[in-house]
Structure 1
Amino acid sequence: MAVNVAKKWKYNDDINNCGFTLILADGIEKPQCVLCFKMLGIDSVRSAKLKHHLMTIHPQNAENVPSFFKRREQFQKKETGFECCFPTSEVKCSEASCEASLEIARKKKVHTIGETLIKPFAAKMVKRVLGESSAHKIQQISLSNDTVKRRISEMSANIMEQMIKEIKLYPTSTFTEQLDELTDVSSRARLLVFIMYVFMHDIKDEQLFCTQLETTIKALDVVEMLTSLFKANGITWKNFCGVCTPAMLGSKSGLQKHVKEAAPVLKWFTV
């Protein structure tokens, strides 16, 4: 998500050669990509991290000469950055909607709480403290049930996409997986998958996805769903070096049998 910042541009040879410029955000200079406008943290002002963003997100521009990025920065400055593409109010409302949706997901609340509780009371508090005009701006933030659901799905898909990219950047593109089947409050079966992989000399342990099992919870159905999801993201069973699961371990007809048929060399662990 973008960050509301005061636009103060600064040219720096090292970061500009990587396609970045420095802007002032909350009194701190942070790098922002001149191609996609994504802002990175202050700890990312290092050539290695900036080049990593350029190579993975904009590989088609990786070979451009520094003058290309400087022209992009000058154009960005002239057109006042994001405001050249989107109205400021629209960007801020989208940011607020995403932040509220993220908190709803974190607190495990129903999606309708955004429109029925958060938004009305936020408008009342802002009206009381800042006045009618500010309260009207709050009303422009979309927090409907469908919007919150879409925001959460988009953020989840984006996180999964980032993890897949990180896995593929590792020379062997291998990882381990932990999975289990569970039933939610609506009695629907869901498949929960965690993965562990190496990225930039660190071991990362992340939740890859949690998806509903549309048919049955048989081992073959689980394998078919995993195969379909991994295929859509350019991953095969050969990328697995280990699987951990507390259930579905039948050596003849269970999940273990089906997975080992697809990846005979992987290690199997139980908890």
Structure 2
Amino acid sequence: MNDRYYNESYIKYGFVSNLCDPPPPLCVICNQTLSKSSMKSPLLHRHFVTNHGEFKDKPAEFFKSKPENVALETSYELVSLAAKNQASYTAVESLVVPGALITTHKMLDKISENAMKAIVSADTTVRRRIHDMAKDVVEQITENIKFDEKFAIQIYESVALSDEAELFVYIRYFGVKKGAIVDEILGCKQLPEEKIFLKSLTIL
């Protein structure tokens, strides 16, 4: 067997194959690409033991899922960025990821470009992940205020760019983990056509 070519057993050292021929070994833990001449069991094992000894007892499935987990985490971060900038659900698929692909293709390498293609960016996925993140934020806030006996809720009506009335609910409480007063948006909902002009209402 030629050690310069990828062998499935290399996954136990945290290395996966790429599309080059012969493919350089890519460490899924630190994302470092070694030289093609390093495609030998002893050299890969040395990198693994020297840099990632804490993972020596992990099964092969742990390393196989690593690239997928990184792609998933990246996808959520891109969705979060789009949501914070009030971009449409299609922005990640039509602009962000294509832009990243162009950048990696022009400035980096084929390996980085192929890794970028693993990011799921369909508008339905973006919509679902935004909802998942919003639900998670509410759950975190709910969990945090359980440690504080007092909190304040403010209900405020605003008008969106589309001239539709929206109801915002803000909450203020003492964040135990941060050790300070925390202000959060607890929720936002579009009001019916018969607008309710609450303006501002604080509940203590």
TM-score bin (small chain): 0.5 to 0.7
* TM-score, structure 2 normalization: 0.62
Distance 1:5 1:246, change over 3 A: farther
Distance 1:183 1:203, change over 3 A: same
Distance 1:134 1:157, change over 3 A: same
CA contact (8 A) 2:157 2:199 kept: no
CA RMSD, Structure 1 to Structure 2 (Å): 3.2
Q: CA deviation at 1:141?
A: 0.6
Distance 1:114 1:199, change over 3 A: closer
Distance 1:84 1:116, change over 3 A: same
| Higher RCO (CA 8 Å, separation ≥ 6 residues) | 2
What are the ranges of 5 or more consecutive residues in structure 1 without an aligned counterpart? 7-26, 28-73, 220-244, 250-255, 257-265
Distance 1:196 1:5, change over 3 A: farther
Structure 1 CA distance, aligned partners of 2:199 and 2:163? 20
Q: Which amino acid aligns with 2:190?
A: Q
Q: CA deviation at 1:163?
A: 0.7
Q: Where does residue 199 of structure 1 map in the other structure?
A: 175
Q: Where does residue 166 of structure 1 map in the other structure?
A: 144
CA contact (8 A) 2:29 2:66 kept: no
Deviations 1:25-58 (A, max 9, x none): xx9xxxxxxxxxxxxxxxxxxxxxxxxxxxxxxx
Structure 1 CA distance, aligned partners of 2:86 and 2:132? 17
SS of 1:111's partner is coil
CA contact (8 A) 1:181 1:217 kept: no
Establish whether residue 79 from structure 1 lines up as the match of residue 61 from structure 2.
no
Q: CA deviation at 1:110?
A: 1.8
Q: Which has the larger radius of gyration?
A: 2
1:131 paired residue among 82, 104, 109: 109
Q: CA deviation at 1:129?
A: 2.5
Distance 1:194 1:122, change over 3 A: same
Q: Where does residue 189 of structure 1 map in the other structure?
A: 165
What are the ranges of 5 or more consecutive residues in structure 2 without an aligned counterpart? 1-27, 31-50
1:180 paired residue among 137, 145, 156: 156
Structure 2 CA distance, aligned partners of 1:131 and 1:180? 50
CA contact (8 A) 1:93 1:141 kept: yes
Structure 1 CA distance, aligned partners of 2:111 and 2:75? 19
| Identity across matched positions, percent | 27
1:151 paired residue among 126, 129, 132: 129
The size of the alignment, in residue pairs, is 153
SS of 1:186's partner is coil
SS of 1:169's partner is coil
* TM-score, structure 1 normalization: 0.48
Establish whether residue 122 from structure 1 lines up as the match of residue 107 from structure 2.
no
